[in-house]
Structures are given as C-alpha cells and as structure tokens.
Chains A and B, each alone.
Chain A
Amino acid sequence: MSRYTSATEDDRRAMLVAIGAASIDELFADVPEAVRLGRPLDLPAGKPEQEVFGYLRDLASLNVSAEDEISFLGAGMYDHYVPSLVDSIIGRSEFLTPYTPYQPEISQGGLQVMFEYQTAISELTGLPVSNASVYEGPSALAAAGYLAKLHQPSRTRFLVSRGVHPHSRETLASTSVGWGTTIEELGLAGGATDAEALAEAVSDDVSAVFLQYPNFLGAVEDLEALVPAAKAAGALVVVACDPLALGILRPPGDVGVDVAVGEGQTLGNRLDFGGPSFGFFAAQQAYMRRMPGRIAGETTDVDGRRGFVLTLQTREQHIRREKATHNICTAQALNALAGVIYLSWLGREGLVELGELLLQRTAYARETLAAVEGIEPLHDQPVVREFAVRLDADVERVIERCAVDGVNPGYPLGRDYPEHQDGLLVALTEQRSKADIDRLAASLRSAVREVVPA
C-alpha cells in the first residue's frame, strides 16, 4: 500500500465483491493483450518520505541560487524579496488545493481574488479589461498576436521590435506558424526602437506592432512617439511591460496601446528556475469578447448577496471549442493570487517608492560601472531597473571570474544579440544595496583587468 491510498486487502476484497469482479486484472480486461505492459515500470521502487526529501535536498544543494551569490542577473526574471505573508496565504489548503471555480457557490474566495487581481492589473496597465492570468510573459505576447489575428484576419504582417525579449519573439514565431502571418523585425537605434523604421514599415496590412516597455536592454521606450504611426495604419499595438516599472512609468493604456501583456514573476513569485509564475493580459474595452483565458465578474445571488462568477465563458475552449479565443484551460491562479497579495502589500504608495528606489539604484549602478576602466554603457536611454554595458573583455569569462567573488554580474547579451557580443545586461532589485553595487563594480574591475578581450 502506498502512502497516499487507503485500500487495504480487506477493502479490495469487499470492493471487488460489490463490483462483481474476481480480480483487479478483470477490470483491465478491455486492454488488448498486445498492448499490456506485462512487466513493472522500469523505475526504482517507491521510497519513504525522508529518503525522497534527502535526495532532493542534495540535488538542490548543487544549485547556486540567489541565496548563495550576489546576483545582478535579470533578463526577464528578477530576485525580488517575497514577503512572508505571501507564503502563509498561498500555502493555505483553501487556496492551494481547490479546482477551478466552476461551482461558484463554493469558490467565492478564488473568484473574488481573481476580481481583485483583475482590478490591480487594470490599474497598473491603464486598460479597463484584464483576465485572471495566462501562463507567463512570452506566451502572453503570442496570445496577443492570436487576438490580433482573430480581430483582423485579412491583415497578415506582425512587426516586432528587436527590443522585445528574445524568448517572446521566438515564442511568437513558433506559436504563429499556422496563422498565415509573417514576422518582420523593427531594429533598434541607440538602444530603443527606431521610430522611423516603424513609421516606414507600417501599412494597412499590418495586424499588430509589438514593443516592450522597458525593453530587453533596459531602455524605456518612447511609446508616445511610437504608437501613433501604428494606430494610424489601423494596426493593434501590443506592449509587453514590466509590472513593477509600471508603478512609476506612464501606463500603456494612457498612450493608446491596445493590449498590454507581461511577465508577472516580480509580483510576489520566486525565481523557481523559470516557473511557475504568471502572465498578465489586459486590453481596451473593444477587445473584451476576444480576451483569452478566464475572467471573473461581479453579480448577485438569489437572496441579493454580492458574489462573483466566471463570466464571458462563451469565449473559452470548453464552450466555443474550435472557435475559442485561445485554447487555454489551466492558467496560473495561485501565482496570480501571490501577485495580488504582493501588490496589496506594496500598496499605492509602496509601489511608487519601490519604483523610485529601483530607478535611483539603477542609475547609481550604471554610473558606477561606467566609471570602471574597460566598461562603458551600451546605450544612454532612460532606464528603470536594468541596463546594458559593454566590456573590454570576454563577457562569459568575466562572468566566471566574478563567480569566484560570489558575484553574478548579469546576462551575457551575446547569447541573443550577435551585434552585442561584448554586452552585459545588469539588473537591480531592492535586495541589491549600494554596498552590493560597489562590490559588483569592484569584482568587474578585477575581472575585466584579468580576462583578455574576446
């Protein structure tokens, strides 16, 4: 008997009698002989809990996490401080273990959380309509592409800024392969999307223009300068945003953006080697019935009590099937809960203060590194929490040298941008103090000196 089932020999005997079968084998009689496995699975035998824990603990100890080094590694996920109350709330059985709230009468907790989360995302993005989460950032961008395609099926061109996260660009390409759409890249000039290139490329067969804000190189894109050309051509504008940066940056909804998506990990979720986190997806009113994923709505019950239900379900796969707005079913409800708890914890003032802190420390970091010999900024665009520099030394080897100091200086841009083989992307969170930044500078100073140029 395994740890989690209760069926004893007595139970089995009695149950087989009630069923009218002589053995468990009889219950599998419909499985043709030729496809029966006929041997145990070729896996180790089950183990007691403490052995499983020991084994996995030992594996985890082989990983160098943000616990073990001072990390300036970002590029889409960031080592923010997750407050204790997030853990204590999302660890509750009532949030951790229920199913999707298809029976609303006994799911008011989960449904109200979704409503509060949707409100928070709407506030951050300045867009009136938000869903209750999608998987994560890059696939959220691809989902926005699907919305654009369904909205104007005769338009087939997607224009995507080179400043959009490489994983998002690749995910859009992989996901859209059957849509009859093409993807053209909009280049960067001085670290930000080239507005002239956009204006030239856009025309009335462009379905959507995709930007990132701030972009992958950390630059705050000038949305006011970019959006009008796209809108004038009748294209949808999709912007992938950093949700924390939206605490101090002008919300995309205010400048005419149609759909705002993004990676929600920085809101109350840990790094977890890349997941689970959540993606957010918000849009203008006109696209409400084209939204992917679940949406919670407010209503009343038969006695007049306020309550919440999943609404506009006819968009979704379980009803609309082949004509659904997306195939998504399971999303990231628990991670979105962590997100809305986190935003409530930061609060109206706190989100701004955190944004300002990041802004100031990032500026300090960029200045400090720029003063190191062999390091110069890759661009001088405004930045909020991440920036790029050029090193006069082999970047991957510099990173190895810094590891010896217990410092992770950032992401080697050459992995995704061949034109920036000498580039390093440096990220800040509130957990990286001035002292940490000074340590980073010192470590890089030594590393750049010691490592020969690429």
Chain B
Amino acid sequence: MATASYPPDLKYHEEHDWARIEGETATFGITWYAQDQLGELVFFDPPAVGATVRRGDPYAEVESVKAVSDVIAPLSGEVVEVNEALASGPEAINDDPYDGGWMVKVRLSDVSEVESLMDAAAYEDSLT
C-alpha cells in the first residue's frame, strides 16, 4: 500500500497495532506506519489457536530480511483464528495491512479495554 491510511472504523494502540471490534471478538493487525517501518515482510510467526493474549504484550513476530519485530496485542483475550494465508503470503501485511493482512481474531476477555485505544485521528496525530 503506497500511501498512508488509517481507516476511521478501527481502533489503534500506541505500539502501531489496530483492532476491528465485532461485538465480543476483535480482529488485530499492524498499521500502515508499522509495515512501512519494517519494510518488506518475509515471515509471520503466529500464536497458536487457543493461546491467551494480553494487552500490551507481544503475541506474534514478523520478520523482514534483516530484522525481527514483536507484534503487540492491543487488547486481551483468546485467539480463535489465525490468518493462514500469511504463511505463504506475508507480503499481504505490507500490501493490505487492514484487510488481507489481518493477523488474528480474538475473543475479548475485557471489552472495557477498548476505551483505552485511540481513534484514527488521534493515532495519526501521534505519529508526527
């Protein structure tokens, strides 16, 4: 994805992760800014389905050719689905970070945590 974008319907965490809230579950991924910083991604190391994730803690890793980065969970819960397509196509995270590049779906353990996330405007401001 060539130009920065931060969809308004998502919530954002300061460690450059987004969450799409769908009632009791949420989908997570990394933001345009994050994938731009990391460069071309070559590998996504996901958590297992059933794993617990905690807000602010790493739950997965992404790799570019010369670097490894932790992916931080914006909210807490249990992993119910992992994006299998990333195994053969990690570049989807660069090309389509909010849709094809989604990483995990999580059943939230504490929906009130959503209030601590930023909206798109606040997150974009924080980047300058």
Contacts and interface: CB of A to CB of B under 8 A. Distances in A.
B22 to A, nearest CB: 32
Contacts of B43: 289, 314
A289 B42 CA distance: 13
A12 interface: no
Contacts, number: 14
B67 interface: yes
B68 interface: yes
Nearest to B67: A319
Name the residue in A314, A319, A323 with the highest tally of chain B Cβ atoms < 10 Å from its Cβ: A314
Nearest to B65: A313
A323 B66 CA distance: 15
B96 interface: no
A320 B63 CA distance: 10
Contacts of A319: 66-68
Interface in B24-78: 43, 63, 65-68
B42 to A, nearest CB: 8
Interface string B78-108: 0000000000000000000000000000000
Interface in A112-148: none
Q: How large is the interface on B (under 10, 10 to 19, 20 to 34, 35 or more residues)?
A: under 10
A313 B63 CA distance: 10
Contacts of A320: 68
Interface in A304-318: 313-314
B70 to A, nearest CB: 10
Interface string A283-316: 0000001000000000000000000000001100
A370 B63 CA distance: 60
Nearest to A323: B68
Nearest to B45: A289
Interface string A319-335: 11001000000000000
B101 to A, nearest CB: 19
A319 B61 CA distance: 13
A314 B40 CA distance: 14
Contacts of A323: 68
Interface string A252-294: 0000000000000000000000000000000000000100000
A314 B41 CA distance: 12
Nearest to A311: B65
Interface string A50-87: 00000000000000000000000000000000000000
Contacts of A289: 43
Interface string B2-32: 0000000000000000000000000000000
Contacts of A313: 65-66
Interface of B: 43, 63, 65-68
14 contacts: A289-B43, A313-B65, A313-B66, A314-B43, A314-B63, A314-B65, A314-B66, A314-B67, A314-B68, A319-B66, A319-B67, A319-B68, A320-B68, A323-B68
Smallest CB-CB A-B distances: 10 pairs? A314-B63, A314-B68, A320-B68, A319-B68, A319-B66, A319-B67, A313-B66, A313-B65, A314-B43, A314-B67
Given A314-B65, A314-B66, A320-B68, 11 more contacts: A289-B43, A313-B65, A313-B66, A314-B43, A314-B63, A314-B67, A314-B68, A319-B66, A319-B67, A319-B68, A323-B68
